[in-house]
Chains A and B, each alone.
Chain A
Amino acid sequence: MDAGIFSAVSGSLAAQTRLDALANNLANANTAGFKAERVLQRAERAGEIAPPATAVATPVTREHVETDFSQGPISKSGNPLDVALAGDGFLVVKTERGERLTRSGSLSIDSAGYLATADGNRVQGTSGDIRVPESPVVIAADGSVRAGEQRVGQLRLVNVDDPAQLVRESGTRFAPGNQVPADAAPGSVRVVQGAIEGANLAPVEGLVALIETVRGFETYMRAAERLDQMTAKAISDVGRV
C-alpha cells in the first residue's frame, strides 16, 4: 500500500491541532496577559531504521505547539490596580499548587487587604504577600508598591532561562516546570500602572490562518482520497487479464 496516505493523514492531523490552537487563541482575544499558541510543523521520517537494516521511511509531519512570548499591546485602563509588564518577565502568584508565573496584571485587593489576582491568588513581593492597608496605591516602574504615604512592598519580577519549557495552566498562568525562576535583571522589565497587557495576537492573522488551515486540511484529505483511489485501481485493474 502506498505509504503516502500516512503522510497525507499526518498533515490533516496537524491541521486539526492547528485549528484547535487557533480557536483557543481567538477565544482568548480579550484575555489580559494571554500568550498565543503557535503550531509548528516539522518533517520527520517515521519508521526510519539505522543502516544496515533497510526500511523505507514514511515522510510525515509532526506538530509542536509553542507559546509566543512576544509583548502584547499595552492599553490604558485607568484602574490603579491594573499593572502591565513591558519587557521580558513575569509576576509571581502563590496558588495552592505552588508558585506560578503570570503576565495577567488585573489585580485586586482581597478581604484581608492583600494584592491578589482576579481569582484570589496573592501576588508575591520580594518578601512575600503584599498588604496594601490604604489607598491610593501607587506602583512604580520598578515594581515598588506604595499605599498612601508608606512603601509596602516590591513586586517580584522573575524570568526563566527557557520560556519554551514553561507549562501552560488555566488562569493565564505558567508553571515553572523543572526550572527555577530567577529575579529579572533590573531594567529588563518595566511595570506600567493603570494599564493592561492585551493578548498578543492579531485577529486578522488569526482569520487568515483559519482559512489556510481549513484549505490545508481539505488538500490533505483530497490527497489521501486520490492515493486510496490509486490503490483501488491497482487492486482491481492490474490483475485483470
Chain B
Amino acid sequence: MIRALYTAATGLEAQQLNIDVIANNLANVSTSGFKKSRADFQDLLYQTTREPGGPATSTTQSSTGIQVGLGVRPAAVQRINLQGDFNQTSNPLDVAIGGDGYFQVTLPDGSTAFTRAGAFKLDSTGSVVTSSGDPVSPQINIPTGAEAIAIGDDGTVSVTLAGQSAPSQVGQIQTARFANPSGLRAEGSNIFKETDSSGPPQLGTPGQDGLGKLTQGFLEGSNVSVVEELVAMISGQRAYEINSRAISAADEMLRTAASIGR
C-alpha cells in the first residue's frame, strides 16, 4: 500500500511538470520565433512478483504474471518545431523564415548562437543586430544614408543609397539547420545553442539545400495554439487531482488497517 502512495506522488510530480511546460507555452504566446514544448512521459519500473509465462506448476505456465508498475517519469520536454504564423509588420528589418533554418548571431562572449526571431534592428554603428543587440553573423553593415533596405528570399541584403537609382548588395544572411533541432539548448531570449544532441550546424543560403526562404516585412509568431494549451491544461489539472485522490485512498486504507483490533 505504501507503493501506491509513492506511485501517486510520481503522478503528481509529472502533472506538475506538465503544467509548468504549458504555462511557459502560454506565457510566450506572443513571443516571435517561439517554439512550444511538450512534456513526454514514460512509465517507471515494474515490480515483478510473478513473471508472465513463468511456471505455475511443474506442467503449466501462468498466463499472466503479477507486475505492478511504480509510476511515471518525464522522458523528455520536447520542443515542437512547427512553423509559426507569419505576422505582417512592414518593418524592412523584420524577417521570417518559412521552413527549416535558424539565423546565426554572435553573442557578446564571442560564441555563436541561433534564433528564429528575425526582428532585427540597427545598432549605433549601422550593423544588423537582434532585439538583444547581438550582431547577425556574418556581420552586415547598413551604410548611413541608405534610403531603402531590401532583403531577398535568398538572404541577400541590398540598400538603395540617397541619390542612386540601383540598389547595391551590402551583405548576405546565412541560415543554419540541424539534424535534430529539438536537441538545441534553449538559452532564453529566443536564443538556442548547439549541443551534441542537435548535431553541428549546416550553414547555407536560404532557399537552398532544404533551408527555408526568408520573407521581409514579416515576423514569425509563436507556434502556440492557446486552445490546445488550455485543453492540455485542463486534462493535466484533472490528472493531478485524480492522483491526489489515489493518495487519499491509500491513506484511508492505511487508517483502516491501523484501526483494526482497537
A residues whose Cβ falls under 8 Å from a Cβ of B = 12, 15-17, 19-24, 26-32, 34, 37, 40, 63-67, 77-80, 104, 106, 108-113, 117-119, 134-135, 148, 162, 164-172, 177-178, 203, 206-207, 210-211, 213-214, 217-218, 221-222, 224-225, 228
Contact = CB atoms under 8 A, between A and B. Distances in A.
12 contacts: A19-B249, A20-B4, A21-B69, A26-B245, A28-B41, A31-B42, A31-B72, A108-B76, A119-B42, A167-B46, A178-B53, A221-B256
Nearest to A79: B80
Contact of B46 (A16, A112, A168): A168
Contacts of A26: 8, 11, 239, 242-243, 245-246
Contacts of B5: 23
Given A23-B246, A135-B100, A169-B46, A106 B4 contact: no
B231 to A, nearest CB: 9
Interface in B165-180: 179-180
A28 B210 contact: no
A94 to B, nearest CB: 16
A110 B197 contact: yes
Nearest to B76: A118
Nearest to B18: A30
A112 B198 CA distance: 9
Contacts of B243: 23, 26-27, 29
A109 B253 contact: no
B14 to A, nearest CB: 7
Interface stretch (B60-68, B89-97, B129-137, B145-153): B60-68
Nearest to A206: B242
B48 interface: yes
Q: Which of A106, A111, A225 has the most CB of B within 10 A?
A: A111
A138 B146 CA distance: 45
Given A26-B11, A65-B67, A108-B78, A34 B182 contact: no
Given A27-B7, A171-B42, A17 B68 contact: yes
Given A16-B253, A111-B198, A29 B260 contact: no
Contacts of B7: 20, 23-24, 27
Given A19-B249, A177-B53, A210-B249, A32 B40 contact: yes
A24 B68 contact: yes
Contacts of B179: 109-113
Contacts of A104: 42
Nearest to B232: A30
B257 interface: yes
A171 B67 CA distance: 15
Contacts of B250: 19, 23
B246 A22 contact: yes
B63 A17 contact: no
A30 B46 contact: no
A117 B44 CA distance: 16
Given A23-B7, A65-B65, A104-B42, A16 B1 contact: yes
B69 A37 contact: yes
Q: Which of B3, B10, B72, B250 has the most CB of A within 10 A?
A: B72
Contact of A30 (B15, B66, B196): B15
B260 A224 contact: yes
Given A23-B3, A111-B197, A225-B260, A30 B236 contact: yes
Contact of B43 (A24, A113, A177): A24
B189 interface: no
Contact of A106 (B15, B40, B68): B40
Nearest to A179: B53
